[in-house]
Chain A
């Protein structure tokens, strides 16, 4: 499926947005898939930049760090951009950005054991930065018996509007290669492949120059991918690059692959070579209602409200606000939510851009069938969902849907296909867990 790219911000160099005094930073204790962290600080306590403020002993979790220096104001529930709620530490920034003494201690990874390196990555709070937020240290520890031969770096960035991956390809190329070298050192014999769509040719050329360097030659290569949505989805990317299919219900490790987002790899670089945890996210801010569209380096915890104030605010009153891309991002109803590790973009659309199309009869044109990356028959699943036929829904592989939205995008009748399928999936999951 080929939605329009809308990548107007691809040439906008990343602008660093520094926290100011008096801004309130919000750190949800759940910024990853897995168990929530417990706050390690108390109200009134002083915190420093890079100080760990949330952690848990659970395996499927990563710690949370403060990104400003200041005072813990309160600890209470907050809403997150994805609509979920989580316990959060609120820090009142003093504007000084005093760094924790623990920071800036590089690690000599070549003389460290595998588990030690992975522990550094875990302690740096690194999660998959493509939007899913799966803890990276867990990905780097595949179950025993899985022979990993390919490390894929995901820089496909197939979602329209988003240009942050594109920018880091150009701006932080060296860090990508160094970070990937660290990850490759964990999997002896594995090769690194950076998957990029060919709508980012300048990025591809720069990567390919690096691949020619003696230290990377033969170890790291670039896969040029024809732009296609949802190619950045893990299983689709593996298939596009290696031709291997992750079995239904299986994991990439089952077919020898580990996939990490390009910015995740840069975070690994930062953790190992600079001794700094994950404290920032690059956010593409765009849409017709935004005054200065661009790519902004935002400290985690900054609210969208403060972010918009810092970058010039709105041109017109937005009619729709989206955290993430237009295909899979969540519509927001308030800006009083923090930027988290899962944030990737902020779109503020005008009324003309935010029209809700009217649903009409399905004409069985099969555009949804052609567009489905999982090869489901979305219009049938839509019927099963609407009629509550759960058994048929499952028999027709409704649970394999990745909710990429290709079906709804391509439907000439504007039917709410993925919407209904998603709702039915939730019902089935609820049924399973009860």
Chain B
């Protein structure tokens, strides 16, 4: 008994790890990834590979350069890379995702202290930068799906949310319409999101309130008061991707259930404002980024009441 381990409590731990969480997110994104490649072909696959590869690469480089522990094996950089790729049109030049990865991983994540310290969603930070700096590539690269897997001569096609966009509900569900690589198949994103809820990686609060807010607001704000309007707004664009996979980013979302509900409602509200009255056809990512900045404030005002606090207050009033 010479080599006894002595530690404070607890002596057992749950078998959940960061790696497992990130891996489950990757699994949840896999169906939509495959669908993106099926729809937009080899070109989309290349964009995905370059984005994920450069994200992981930048994480490795930064940590090597700053003499930190290398944490690429926790898959968090891969998740960020994949989410960034999901937000890119299929025909972007391949240097573009590399620039986006740099902004996402180095600027938004590592400069703020790495995993868990970023105040905004890194993938969305990368996308916002690309939108601002390379607008023509980001806004104009949308193409018609299923035009041949190896065919790089693609036909341009507007997204359903664009003023000249065309759509029908089945294509919105399946994903055979113009859009970014990962956002088009609402049904696969919902399935992936529900998988994460089932696995207790995320909770229902943000996605449910985000989507519900968009549905309710578009129903009342758009003329006609038809159910078609909210259904379209919920299924089109990046709402499912944003609600299930982006707004739920741990480090840039509130911790308490009430805080998460406020986050979801806020995201939905801003999304609708941008979509209906703003200059962009799509507002999900800016809505999330704006709400990310409100998280410290939300957290501050939604601290859970501690056990045993309530009766005391009542007594003081009586």
The answer to the question of A58 belonging to the interface, with a C-beta cut-off of 8 Å to chain B, is: no
Interface residues of B in 5-22 (CB under 8 A from A): 5-14, 16-18, 20-21
Q: Are A363 and B311 in contact (CB under 8 A)?
A: no
Tally of contact residues, B, Cβ under 8 A = 41
CA distance A330 to B312 in the complex (A): 33
Contacts of A236 in B (CB 8 A): 307
Q: Are B14 and A3 in contact (CB under 8 A)?
A: yes
CB distance from B242 to the nearest CB of A (A): 19
- A248-B307, A250-B308 as given contacts; A364 in contact with B11, CB under 8 Å: no
Q: Are A405 and B18 in contact (CB under 8 A)?
A: no
Q: Are A329 and B4 in contact (CB under 8 A)?
A: no
Q: Are B250 and A364 in contact (CB under 8 A)?
A: yes
- A245-B311, A331-B7, A361-B115 as given contacts; A412 in contact with B21, CB under 8 Å: yes
Contacts of B199 in A (CB 8 A): none
- A374-B306, A375-B304, A419-B8 as given contacts; A412 in contact with B311, CB under 8 Å: no
CA distance A248 to B316 in the complex (A): 13
Contacts of B9 in A (CB 8 A): 326-330, 403, 405, 408, 418-419
Nearest CB to that of A6 among chain B residues? B12
Q: Are B11 and A363 in contact (CB under 8 A)?
A: no
CA distance A396 to B305 in the complex (A): 10
Q: What does DSSP make chain A's interface, helix, strand, loop or mixed?
A: loop
- A250-B308, A365-B250, A412-B20 as given contacts; A418 in contact with B10, CB under 8 Å: yes
CA distance A4 to B116 in the complex (A): 28
The answer to the question of B309 belonging to the interface, with a C-beta cut-off of 8 Å to chain A, is: yes
Q: What does DSSP make chain B's interface, helix, strand, loop or mixed?
A: loop
Q: Are B255 and A377 in contact (CB under 8 A)?
A: yes
Q: Are B10 and A377 in contact (CB under 8 A)?
A: no
Q: Are A248 and B14 in contact (CB under 8 A)?
A: no
- A320-B5, A331-B11, A409-B14 as given contacts; A235 in contact with B308, CB under 8 Å: yes
The listed residue (B4, B303, B307, B310) touching A333 by CB distance below 8 A is B4
Contact mask for chain A residues 354-381; partner B; CB cutoff 8 A; 1 contact, 0 none: 1011001111111101000111110100
A356-B5, A408-B9 are known; give 16 further A-B pairs, CB within 8 A: A255-B311, A317-B1, A318-B1, A319-B3, A326-B12, A328-B9, A331-B8, A347-B11, A349-B11, A364-B250, A364-B251, A366-B250, A412-B17, A414-B17, A416-B8, A422-B8
Give 29 CB contacts A-B under 8 Å: A4-B12, A6-B12, A239-B307, A247-B315, A255-B311, A318-B4, A320-B7, A321-B4, A326-B10, A327-B9, A331-B7, A331-B11, A333-B4, A354-B5, A357-B13, A361-B113, A361-B117, A363-B21, A363-B115, A363-B251, A364-B116, A364-B255, A369-B256, A374-B306, A376-B306, A379-B255, A396-B303, A400-B306, A412-B20
Q: Interface of B with A (CB < 8 Å)?
A: 1, 3-14, 16-18, 20-21, 71, 74, 76, 113-117, 250-251, 255-256, 303-312, 315
List the 3 closest pairs (A to B, CB-CB), nearest first: A405-B10, A248-B308, A363-B116
